[in-house]
Amino acid sequence: MYISISRVIAVTALLLLCGLIVQAQDFVWTPDFQRRYADLQKLTSQPAQQSLTHESTKNGVRIFLDDYADMLMLVTSDDDRLFSAMSDREEDRLDALKKLDVNSPWQRVLLAEVRLHWAFAKLKFGKEVSASWDVIRAYKLLAENQKRFPDFLPTYKSLGTLHIMIGSVPENYVWVANLLGLHGNVRQGQQELQRAQQDPTFGLEARLIDLMVQAYVLKFTNADEQALQHLVDDHPDNLLLHFFGATIEQKNGHSEQALAYLADRPSGKNYMALPIIENILGDIYLQKGEYATSTTHFQQFLNTYKGQNFLKDSYYKLFLCHWLANNQTDGGVASRLFLQNVTKVGRTTVESDKAAQKFAESYLQKGVSPNQKVLMRARLASDGGFTDSALAYLRPYSEAKFPVTAEKAEYTYRMGRIFQRRNDLDSAIPYLSRALALSEPDQLSFGATAALQLGYVYQQKNDRPRARSFFQKALSFKRHEYKNSVDNKAKAALSEL
Question: Residues 320, 286: contact at Cβ < 8 Å?
Answer: yes
pLDDT at 83: 93
What's the pLDDT tens digit per position in 69-101? 999 999 888 888 999 999 999 999 999 999 999
pLDDT at 483: 83
Cβ neighbours of residue 357 closer than 8 Å, sequence gap 6 or more: 312, 342, 343, 348
Q: Name the CATH code of domain 22-263 (choices 3.30.160, 3.40.50, 1.25.40, 1.10.1060).
A: 1.25.40
Positions of the chain with pLDDT under 70? 1-24, 45-57, 170-180, 327-332
Alpha-carbon gap, residue 184 to 169, rounded angstroms: 10
pLDDT at 369: 81
Alpha-carbon gap, residue 273 to 256, rounded angstroms: 23
Backbone angles phi, psi at 45, to 5 degrees: -105, -20
Alpha-carbon gap, residue 474 to 470, rounded angstroms: 6
pLDDT at 183: 82
Q: Name the CATH code of domain 369-497 (choices 3.30.2130.30, 1.25.40.10, 2.30.29.30, 1.10.110.30).
A: 1.25.40.10
